[in-house]
Structure 1
Amino acid sequence: MSTYAIGDIQGCYTELQQLLELIHFNPSQDVLWCTGDLVNRGPQSLEVLRYIKKLKERAIVVLGNHDLHLLAVAYGNTGYLKPGDTLTPILEAPDREELLEWLRHRPFLHHDPELGFTLIHAGLPPQWDLLQARQCASEVEKALSGQKYREYLANLYGNEPKKWSEKLTGWDRLRFITNCLTRLRYCNAKGKLAMKKKAAPSFYLNDEDKPWFWWPHRATRNQQIIFGHWSTLGYYAENGVYALDTGCLWGGALTALRLEDKQVFSLPCAGECTPGE
């Protein structure tokens, strides 16, 4: 049995199937870890969602910001379809509610103590150790899977608060946790989030904000963490962090990491993933 972690798919179903063929993925034996953002902007979000759901316990999926956007749009909160979104086939599908209910119950963080890896979509503030991160993830998981999920989705959007405090409560606390796990790229040494920065690290070399995993004092520095979300960063593997979003959606590639031996597999975009079409 092998465990493969795969970067953001975002509706690139053709590339997903080609990559699974390349790695000889066997759903009766192997396990697929997905870094989130299964859907949106790629051409076949519905097909991706159906396929991953069909894998059942053979697929571990953490939620990404585009997955949350789908839920917010579907449940009529403050979310709305944006130019370039390709979510309409899901929203109009006969199995829409079954798919959305499954997605709503996915975790924000997955940790496997035997393999020694933690899976998230985006990032962790430097103050959180693994225990804190798991506890915080559990808080937003309960909010999204519980009876008040519509309220959670209605209060999801926004960049405030920007810094962690144990004193945070209510929607501010849940929004901060959600932003870290699904949107974070940069923060300063004190953990203040810089949510508007999206470019590659080379663009901000002289800036006080650094990639969340560059801070040497971060409490998760001894953990192995897999994440996606950052197509401009590309594949990155240093100091126990593995970034797997290699921008298939934008004409790059879809990448998988076999956790048992850390072998990397990458498949170029097939040319079908034009955002918004």
Structure 2
Amino acid sequence: MAIYLVGDIQGCFNELTSLLSQVNFDRNSDVLYLAGDLVARGPNSLETLRFVKSLGECAKVVLGNHDLHLLAVYAGIKKTKKSDHLSELLAAPDIKELMDWLAGQPLIQKIPNPGSNSTSVSSTNKASNDYAYMTHAGISPQWQLSDALEQAELIQTKLTSPDRNTWLALMYGEKPNDWHQAITDVDKFRYSINALTRMRFCFMDGALEFDQKDSPEAITVSNIVPWFELSQTINNTHWVFGHWASLMGKSSHPNIYPLDTGCVWGNQLTMLRWHDKKYFIQSSELSD
């Protein structure tokens, strides 16, 4: 058995299947963790969703911001963006089944570390060497691990409830961007969605900053830093994430693994084999 972790696919289905062929992925014994944004700007979102869903228990997904936006579009809350390629998916005969499956996916996955004897992945477990964690964007530096696990579980409960569309409509907005100002359930829901799926930089007090998307080296603003330079949680816990393509898999912290390497922007799709930390890449079929 091998555990593989892959970055943002964004509908780049051919590159995904090529990567899986590279490693001779066996759905009967291997496990694939996907860092969110399965859909959107690439050409084959429908094929991607159908395939990942067909993998059953050997596919472990976290929701990304594009996945959540797709759910809102399907619900009639938002319209597709010009850069999205979702028409075929939204017109598919199995769209309801796919959207119900997608809405049931969590925002955090626990990844068994090599040599771990643990068999339970209860969301209430405290940090230990038995697990690493995956979210689409990272973990808020204003949170402890227990906060992230609790909020992710609450979000999943809301998105699998009969009130799913109500909550999807409430997730949009950038306030509060400070966890200490998240008082109501709606505040906590919106902040948690943003922290887990949209975060890149934070202000020095840990509040979320939403404007900057470049690599840390390219930023000229002096009062913001990457979230992982402020987080205390990752000093004791390995964290895997996607979302930040301009990092191109590089970071300043030894405990994090950024996996979005901009396949949809013409770069490459990246996969990490967990037990030996070996990377596999597949060049994008798309021009920039």
- 2:183 corresponds to 1:184: no
Runs of 4+ in 1 over 4 A off after TM superposition: none
Segment drifting more, 186-195 vs 199-208:
199-208
The Cα shift of 1:189 comes to 2.4
Segment drifting more, 50-59 vs 195-204:
195-204
The Cα shift of 1:221 comes to 2.1
TM-superposition CA deviations, 1:74-112 (whole Å, max 9, x none): 0111x2111111111111001101100000000000113
Aligned length: 271
Query: Could you tell me how far apart the structure 2 residues matched to 1:197 and 1:249 are?
Result: 19
Query: Could you tell me how far apart the structure 2 residues matched to 1:229 and 1:168 are?
Result: 27
1:222 to 236, 242, 258: 236
Segment drifting more, 245-254 vs 164-173:
164-173
Which residue number corresponds to residue 93 of structure 1?
Answer: 92
Kindly report the root-mean-square deviation, in angstroms, between the aligned alpha carbons of the 2 structures.
1.5
The Cα shift of 1:145 comes to 1.1
SS in 1 for 2:143: coil
The one-letter code matched in structure 2 to 1:20 is: L
The Cα shift of 1:166 comes to 7.3
Query: Could you tell me how far apart the structure 1 residues matched to 2:267 and 2:109 are?
Result: 26
The one-letter code matched in structure 1 to 2:100 is: E
1:141 to 156, 168, 187: 156
Segment drifting more, 218-227 vs 87-96:
218-227
2:131 to 116, 129, 134: 116
SS in 1 for 2:246: coil
TM-superposition CA deviations, 1:229-257 (whole Å, max 9, x none): 01111112532100000000000000001
Query: Could you tell me how far apart the structure 2 residues matched to 1:121 and 1:219 are?
Result: 16
Change (3 A) 1:82 1:166: closer
1:171 to 182, 186, 206: 186
Segment drifting more, 44-53 vs 120-129:
120-129
The answer to whether the 8 Å contact 1:127/1:219 transfers is no
Which residue number corresponds to residue 272 of structure 2?
Answer: 257
Query: Could you tell me how far apart the structure 2 residues matched to 1:128 and 1:175 are?
Result: 15
SS in 2 for 1:48: helix
The answer to whether the 8 Å contact 1:187/1:210 transfers is yes
Which residue number corresponds to residue 75 of structure 1?
Answer: 75
The answer to whether the 8 Å contact 1:126/1:220 transfers is no
Structure 2 residue ranges without an equivalent (≥5) = 117-129
TM-superposition CA deviations, 1:105-131 (whole Å, max 9, x none): 000001135452101000211121211
Residues 3-152 of structure 1 correspond to what in structure 2 (within 5 A)? 3-77=3-77, 79-113=78-112, 114=116, 116-152=131-167
TM-score (normalizing by structure 2): 0.90
